[in-house]
Structure 1
Amino acid sequence: MDQLLRKYNVPVPRYTSYPTVPFWQEITGASWKNHLQRQFQDRNLEDGLALYMHLPFCETLCTYCGCNKKITRRHSVEPEYMAALQKEWELYKGLMSEKPLLKELHLGGGTPTFFSPEHLAEILLPIFNDVDIAEDHAFSFEGHPSNTTEAHLKMLKSLGFTRVSYGVQDNDARVQEAINRIQPWSDVEKVVKLARDNGYTSVNIDLVYGLPFQTAESMHATVNKVLEVKPDRIAFYSYAHVPWKSCSQRLYDETNLPSAEEKMELYNIGRRLFTAAGYADIGMDHFALPHDELYQAWENGELHRNFMGYTHTRTNMLIGLGVSSISDSGTGYAQNHKELHTYYDYVDKGLLPTAKGCYLNETDNIFRRHILDIACKGETFFHAEQRSCYEKYTLPILQKLEEDGLVTVSAIGVKVTETGKRFIRNICRAFDLKVLAAQALEMRPQQFSKAI
């Protein structure tokens, strides 16, 4: 296994979209508006709407983080951002010919709990007045263990939230100091208990392996601590070292990062401990207990993946609100401007703040479906009309993966083996026509983080 881990520890996309972001082009707000109007006319809201809301503010800088964030301790920034979100929502609402059914909502960041509970309610209630809320809705938010209060949990629960994800990352004092994320374990225990006492049915904890100063001993200690509170889900992410994209990652010495071999061992330790404790490995980076909805969706072949990660709900339309947010219409993607002042300027002028994206053709849609099926179901089936694409790009890679025992290939499709579950990103890559075709152009590997 270690030999396979070394072989496949290469730069690979995380596949929250296909085509992936490096292949997107500039898209104007007017172009995206016209695209959405056609989508809404084609009744692309029949199966409901998903909303992602990006709340970018953080009080301190976590140096490992590659997300779009704005560091400030001035909570006076909240009202201006709240007003911009409302203006952006009004722009999208104006394109809809009917009241949408809201099935999924996620508050991400940044740190959503930077905002006061009252301000979060002010953001959400006007939107809830404009939609019907599905009976089986899935509302979730990301919370910082050290600033999520019972007032946050109570207010969001009253609005229909039942899932919370806490970013723990690591519990070792030396690692926390290196990544500038200091949080006592008592804070984690407290907020997990508060969530459960207030009726949350799914608590997720995020952990990261590959951080500076992590060791086998510290990983054992962190995972065992997490298992004491028995979260319903665990997201176990590989640290993506991309200092050419995230300047904060240059603030520590790269020699303090685990080697590739050490990082693989950190992953193996986590996975062994999770599975021994009854968690199922349900896809890229995620583990869940059998009672959790995410596990049940995986078990029933209904798991879905989008920019919010894995989800048990699925809609054809995901609208992203806020700076840097990404929308997915089912046949196209659009990302908002990443600079806060530019985002404000666009929505103040009544324009969708779209910066870049792409529209999918028929071949893109087919290969997107292959990638989603591999990531969510562990198998996919070939389309006869794409035979020439398979023969030129996909089958040669699938045959090599099969030689290494990661997949089984038949005349009608491909299935991931038990060993292959640890190499989902590499297997998805076999269906990534954009990356495979770009090899001839010698695309820099720095476009993507490594698989492990």
Structure 2
Amino acid sequence: MLFNPQLIQKYDKPGPRYTSYPPATFFKSGIGQELFREHIIASNQSHPRNLSFYFHVPFCPQLCNFCGCNTGAMPRRDYVELYMKTMMREFETVAQWLDASRPVTQIHWGGGTPNAISMKLVGDVMSLVRKYFTLAEDAEVAMECNPAYVSYKQVDELVDMGFNRISLGIQDFETEVLRRIHRKPSTLPVSDLVKYMQDKGIRVNLDFVYGLPGQSPESFENTIRQAYDANPDRIVTFSYAHVPWVKAAQKELEQYAIPQGTEKLEMFRRTYEKLTRDGYVAIGLDHFAKPDDEMAQALTAHSLHRNFMGYCTISHTGQVYAFGASSITQLDNAYFQNYKDTQAYIDAVTAQETAVDKGYIMTDTDKLCRAVIQEIMCNHFVDLETMAARFQLTYGELQEKLCFNPDALQSFIEDDLVKWENHKLTVFPEGRMFLRNVAMLFDPLYSVGTGQYSRTV
């Protein structure tokens, strides 16, 4: 990959992250519960047929000030139990609207810190899932875990519940960096924990964030070296997004120097070169996987997908049915987001069984844009002629709906970042840092300017 400071300066600007299309900034309030029910039922006839379930636990024993997730301080135990029982009630309501013959291929627990609550409560939810649905043999059952609260006993409990992937949010191995972001280090040696999980049949991701106060290219290189030595299945390196207008706690970090520009780029450059040189395959913007990992194989086969839960393979991709405060349901035809405030969420489910606060109903053009942007972001390639045929359009009609002008690619072509030939777009490895910029050329809604965005690089 080419790490050119001049190109970084040229293309680094605010833009959507494209974990969904349209971005959540376009969601509208006033979505009725009946409309939500209608779309859930209709989704049984849409594709993908597979079911993906997401459960959100919006509590943390200690709040990190860099985090952009919807979370709050861990409340007393009885309130956590109330929240979890409410989420189970919401799940049962939606479950009755779904076709029980549809296979569950993906379950993901996020937060917050889901591994900081009682494992019995997690087990109650997992039992409820199995009461209504059948998990596919190769279903991925994953949880995001803070290693400060992981024990070997907890790992055993998760295995017994059927979990087979754990993402450990390390963020950084340097104690001073962790102190500045209000995060505790892992209780157990990370390399020992990774091996214990893998011996139990769990595939392990180690997650890191670069661009945090206290980091330098040298210190982050050392962190990645330790990550590599731990031998996880995947290593994930997220770029820190400083958005204090969204997350006020991030303003606290402004008392320190926040790495930007060439310094931040150098962190990623060293990470990329170390991991790709020593056996990992670069996936999308931020993932690195071993060559035999299903995600690396999916990239080769152009069958990689991305949703709010992150990168996944087409085989595991389902329409996403999400539960808990702030969670987002991703259907083929619509998006629905629950109330972000925990008490508002509980009150809504108590009153009407569901808790939808806002959403977005997809148009045919939205679906086309989503498909094109998905291909660019995941597989670094899109054949617009094939895409036009898929949507029963002429190439000219596709261009018009996307508001796409090939001349807009000229700068990327001149910089040797992409190839445009016979209506096929290929993003070179040198251009992968600018995937968001390329995707924006196929986004007719971007010019509307709804919401503020993090920077693209």
Aligned match of 1:326 in 315, 328, 345? 328
User: Do residues 280 (structure 1) and 281 (structure 2) align?
Assistant: yes
Question: Per-residue displacement from partner, 1:221-277 (whole Å, max 9, x unpaired)?
Answer: 111111110111011100000000001101222551013221111111211111122
Q: Are the counterparts in 1 of residues 100 and 133 from structure 2 also a CA contact under 8 Å?
A: no
Aligned match of 2:344 in 338, 342, 345? 342
Question: Per-residue displacement from partner, 1:9-29 (whole Å, max 9, x unpaired)?
Answer: 211211110011111212222
Q: Distance in 1 between matches of 2:291 and 2:254?
A: 40
Aligned match of 2:24 in 21, 37, 42? 21
Q: Which moved more, 1:335-344 or 1:190-199?
A: 190-199
- Structure 2: segments with no counterpart, 5+ residues: 389-394
Letter in 2 for 1:13: P
Q: Give me the CA root mean square deviation.
A: 1.8
SS of 1:146's partner is: helix
Shift of 1:37: 2.1
Q: Distance in 1 between matches of 2:180 and 2:18?
A: 29
SS of 1:119's partner is: helix
Q: Distance in 2 between matches of 1:320 and 1:365?
A: 20
Q: Distance in 1 between matches of 2:349 and 2:340?
A: 13
1:399 aligns to what? 410
Q: Are the counterparts in 2 of residues 111 and 142 from structure 1 also a CA contact under 8 Å?
A: yes
Letter in 1 for 2:421: S
2:9 aligns to what? 6
Question: Per-residue displacement from partner, 1:422-450 (whole Å, max 9, x unpaired)?
Answer: 22121111111110x325xxx56xx1111
Q: Which moved more, 1:54-63 or 1:245-254?
A: 245-254
Q: How does 1:418-429 map to 2 (within 5 A)?
A: 418-429=429-440
**Residue 98 and residue 113 in structure 1: after superposition, are their counterparts in 2 closer, same or farther (change >3 A)?**
closer
SS of 2:147's partner is: coil
Q: Are the counterparts in 2 of residues 14 and 425 from structure 1 also a CA contact under 8 Å?
A: yes
Letter in 1 for 2:398: Q
- Structure-2-length-normalised TM-score: 0.92
Q: Are the counterparts in 2 of residues 140 and 161 from structure 1 also a CA contact under 8 Å?
A: yes
Aligned match of 2:357 in 350, 355, 358? 355
Aligned match of 1:37 in 36, 41, 52? 41
Question: How many corresponding residue pairs?
Answer: 442
Q: Are the counterparts in 2 of residues 165 and 206 from structure 1 also a CA contact under 8 Å?
A: yes
Q: Distance in 2 between matches of 1:35 and 1:212?
A: 44
Q: Distance in 2 between matches of 1:97 and 1:169?
A: 39
User: Do residues 85 (structure 1) and 90 (structure 2) align?
Assistant: no
Q: Which moved more, 1:255-264 or 1:104-113?
A: 255-264
1:304 aligns to what? 305
**Residue 272 and residue 315 in structure 1: after superposition, are their counterparts in 2 closer, same or farther (change >3 A)?**
closer
Question: Per-residue displacement from partner, 1:182-217 (whole Å, max 9, x unpaired)?
Answer: 2058542342132123221x2101111100111122
Q: Distance in 2 between matches of 1:425 and 1:413?
A: 18
SS of 1:183's partner is: coil
Q: Are the counterparts in 1 of residues 28 and 358 from structure 2 also a CA contact under 8 Å?
A: yes
1:232 aligns to what? 233
SS of 2:105's partner is: strand
SS of 1:408's partner is: strand
User: Do residues 292 (structure 1) and 297 (structure 2) align?
Assistant: no
Q: Distance in 1 between matches of 2:431 and 2:257?
A: 30
Q: Distance in 2 between matches of 1:329 and 1:378?
A: 24
Question: Per-residue displacement from partner, 1:34-55 (whole Å, max 9, x unpaired)?
Answer: 2222232xx2377320001111
2:392 aligns to what? none
SS of 1:95's partner is: coil
Q: Distance in 2 between matches of 1:18 and 1:246?
A: 22
User: Do residues 104 (structure 1) and 106 (structure 2) align?
Assistant: yes
1:212 aligns to what? 213
Q: Distance in 2 between matches of 1:266 and 1:97?
A: 47
Aligned match of 1:438 in 433, 442, 448? 448
Q: What percentage of aligned pairs have identical amino acids? A: 33
- Structure 1: segments with no counterpart, 5+ residues: none
